[in-house]
Structure 1
Amino acid sequence: MLQVSELNQYYGGSHILRGLSFEAKPGEITCLLGRNGVGKTTLLKCLMGLIPAKSGEIRWHGKAINSR
């Protein structure tokens, strides 16, 4: 299971991800939708570890996978 809790990320002075929290459970389909510039790619980059989240936690099967 993927758990994201209170994730925050910025680009320069722009606060892109604001306290984002969600769970994606096994067997469920999770969809990420939004207009241009709302943080979809930023979220995916944080989940993959390409950019570090400024704050918040990403857990995979209960284990934290990002450093705070």
Structure 2
Amino acid sequence: MAKVSISLDAELVVEVMVLAGVGSPQDAVEAVVRDYIERAHRTEARIDVQDDRRRHTDPPSMSPEQG
């Protein structure tokens, strides 16, 4: 896998390390990025399920009084 080098504010990285409970700046930032990607995939999956439910349910029928 290709590697990318970036510069980040040291305070930001230290905070991520503390929150992630990781001792290495590289591991902490990688954990945050992986978590972000996993959350995005879960969100996409929930949206797909909701869309499928909407597609497979009949639209509400209108009574003669409503139409």
| TM-score of the aligned structures, taking structure 2 as reference length | 0.23
Larger Rg, first or second structure (1 or 2): 2
Q: Which has the higher strand share?
A: 1
